[in-house]
């Protein structure tokens, strides 16, 4: 759809010694010609979104989208390109997770990313499909067992839970990736506006006006987000806080309107999705080394 895509990839290739780059796509427009170009331009990986097997995926993403995406995936694999499938789990496709793990093993992709739904943008209208804390606990524990099984069987497939996996620290055997917004990630929009993450729509500066280095070190909003003292007291009192860091900031922001509230799908705090009246105070004058370190 984007006519300058391959021009952009060519520019990235010119700086191949300094960059790593991938493509996130629905996969439906990838033909043999596009797959060869992606290989030639040395793209590290391609992520294709699927929401389940054919019936459920097409219910969510549109008629024939599954068949077209799978065709694109096979073309990419045939051209030696690493492919990962991304699946966003809701009440609609929760039962599809085991089927998708089997499908990914069979088709031979490198990874399956199973992500929680983030209620932002058009997703606000789909909030009713968010998993309850109990459902979240059950599916996370199932996925964790599957991750171990794949490792033990030396499967090519890796299951990735993503950066919103902090609350699974309660498993006590799982070290989460945790939210990296503002630490290891910044998102730059076409107009130069900078977010801590593509799923955390809080403007922290403009790259064209301020420069990324200036934003990273001096943005007041970014420093607030990185300051663990600003996380709510309920999370700070949790024995898993340092591993979890308050859970998924993107989901929390989408649900409560603040990234400092508790993760609404945390099963330690909630038996069902909470009301949206939670408020927390940003402690601008508290330094990180007073209580918690910046990780």
Dihedral (C-alpha) 74, 75, 77, 79: value to the nearest 10 degrees?
A: 160
What tokens were used for 95?
Answer: 């039962």
What tokens were used for 291?
Answer: 């209580």
What residues form DSSP beta bridges with 191?
A: none
Q: Please tell me whether residue 77 adopts helix, strand or coil conformation.
A: helix
Element (H, E) at 102: helix 97-107
Which tens digit of pLDDT belongs to each residue from 134-178?
999 999 999 999 999 999 999 999 999 989 999 999 988 899 998
What is the rounded distance in angstroms from the CA atom of residue 85 to the CA atom of residue 26?
10
Which tens digit of pLDDT belongs to each residue from 28-50?
999 999 999 999 999 999 999 99
What is the rounded distance in angstroms from the CA atom of residue 91 to the CA atom of residue 73?
26
Which tens digit of pLDDT belongs to each residue from 231-278?
998 899 899 999 999 999 999 999 999 999 999 999 999 989 998 776
What is the rounded distance in angstroms from the CA atom of residue 189 to the CA atom of residue 115?
22
Asked if 200 and 215 touch (Cβ cutoff 8 Å), the reply is no
pTM of the model as a whole: 0.90
């Amino acid at each position: 759809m984007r006519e300058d895509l391959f021009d952009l990839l060519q520019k990235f290739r010119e700086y191949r010694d300094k960059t790593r780059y991938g493509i996130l796509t629905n996969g439906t427009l990838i033909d043999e010609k596009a797959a060869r170009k992606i290989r030639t331009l040395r793209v590290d990986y391609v992520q294709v979104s699927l929401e389940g097997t054919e019936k459920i995926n097409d219910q969510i993403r549109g008629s024939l989208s599954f068949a077209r995406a799978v065709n694109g995936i096979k073309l990419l694999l045939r051209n030696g390109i690493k492919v990962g499938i991304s699946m966003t789990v809701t009440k609609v496709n929760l039962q599809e997770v085991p089927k998708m793990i089997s499908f990914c093993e069979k088709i031979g992709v490198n990874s399956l990313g199973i992500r929680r739904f983030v209620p932002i943008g058009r997703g606000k209208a789909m909030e009713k499909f968010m998993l309850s804390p109990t459902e979240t606990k059950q599916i996370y524990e199932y996925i964790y067992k599957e991750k171990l099984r794949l490792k033990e069987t030396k499967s090519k497939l890796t299951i990735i839970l993503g950066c919103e996996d902090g609350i699974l620290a309660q498993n006590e055997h799982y070290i989460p990736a945790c939210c990296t917004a503002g630490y290891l990630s910044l998102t730059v929009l076409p107009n130069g506006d900078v977010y801590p993450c593509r799923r955390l729509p809080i403007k922290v500066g403009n790259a064209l006006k301020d420069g990324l280095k200036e934003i990273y070190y001096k943005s007041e909003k970014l420093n607030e987000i990185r300051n663990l003292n600003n996380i709510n007291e309920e999370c700070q009192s949790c024995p898993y806080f340092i591993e979890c860091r308050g859970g998924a900031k993107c989901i929390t922001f989408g649900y409560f309107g603040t990234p400092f509230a508790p993760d609404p799908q945390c099963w330690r705090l909630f038996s069902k999705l909470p009301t949206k009246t939670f408020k927390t105070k940003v402690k601008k004058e508290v330094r990180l080394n007073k209580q918690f370190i910046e990780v």
